[in-house]
A = this chain, B = another copy of it.
Amino acid sequence: MSAKGVSTKPASGFRDFVGREAARREHLIHQISEIYQSFGFEPIDSPALENLDVLFGSGGQENEKLIFKAIKRGEKLEEVLQKADYQNLCDLGLRFDLTVPLCRVFAAYRAELPTPWKVFHTGPVWRAERPQKGRYREFYQCDVDIVGSSSLLAELLVMEAVSEVFLSFGVRDLELHLNHRELLIGMAHKFGFSDHIEAFVILLDKADKIPLEKLEQEMETLLGAKLPAQLKDLLHGQLTLDQLRSDFLEPVETIEKLIQSYSLRFQNLPIRFVPSLARGMGYYTGAIFEFRLKAGGGSLGGGGRYDRLIGRFSSQDTPAVGCSIGFERLLNYLEENQYFEKSSSVLFFPIFDKKFFEASQVLASQIRQSGIKVDIYADESKIKNQFRYADSKNYRWVLIAGEDEWAKNIFKLKDMKEGHELEVTQAELFSKLQSLVLVDL
Contact = CB atoms under 8 A, between A and B. Distances in A.
Interface of A: 2-4, 6-11, 14-19, 22-23, 25-26, 30, 33, 37-40, 42-51, 53-54, 57, 68-71, 73, 81, 86, 89-92, 94, 104-105, 107-109, 112-116, 118-119, 124, 126, 128, 137-138, 146, 148-151, 153-154, 156-157, 160, 164, 261, 264-265, 311-315, 346, 348, 351, 354, 357-358, 361-362, 365, 368, 373-380, 385, 389, 392-393
B378 A157 contact: yes
Contacts of A119: 18
A44 B4 CA distance: 24
Nearest to A122: B26
Contacts of A313: 2, 4, 6, 8
Nearest to A118: B378
A298 to B, nearest CB: 24
23 contacts: A2-B313, A6-B54, A6-B57, A6-B104, A6-B313, A8-B104, A8-B314, A10-B104, A11-B92, A16-B45, A19-B112, A23-B42, A26-B33, A37-B346, A40-B376, A49-B68, A68-B70, A69-B70, A71-B71, A115-B389, A146-B378, A149-B378, A160-B361
A128 B91 CA distance: 12
Q: What secondary structure prevails in chain A residues at the interface with B?
A: mixed
A129 to B, nearest CB: 10
A18 B315 contact: no
Given A3-B315, A151-B380, A16 B48 contact: no
A238 B179 CA distance: 76
Contacts of A389: 114-116
A47 B156 contact: no
Contact of A43 (B22, B50, B107): B22
A264 B71 contact: no
Contacts of A19: 42, 112-113
A270 to B, nearest CB: 17
Contact of A18 (B113, B148, B377): B113
Given A7-B54, A151-B380, A164-B365, 12 more contacts: A8-B104, A8-B314, A16-B47, A23-B43, A37-B346, A40-B373, A40-B374, A40-B375, A69-B71, A116-B378, A150-B379, A153-B380
B6 A53 contact: yes
A348 B40 CA distance: 8
B71 A375 contact: no
B378 A154 contact: yes
A46 B17 CA distance: 6
A313 B3 CA distance: 7
Given A26-B33, A153-B378, A10 B48 contact: no
A48 B51 contact: no
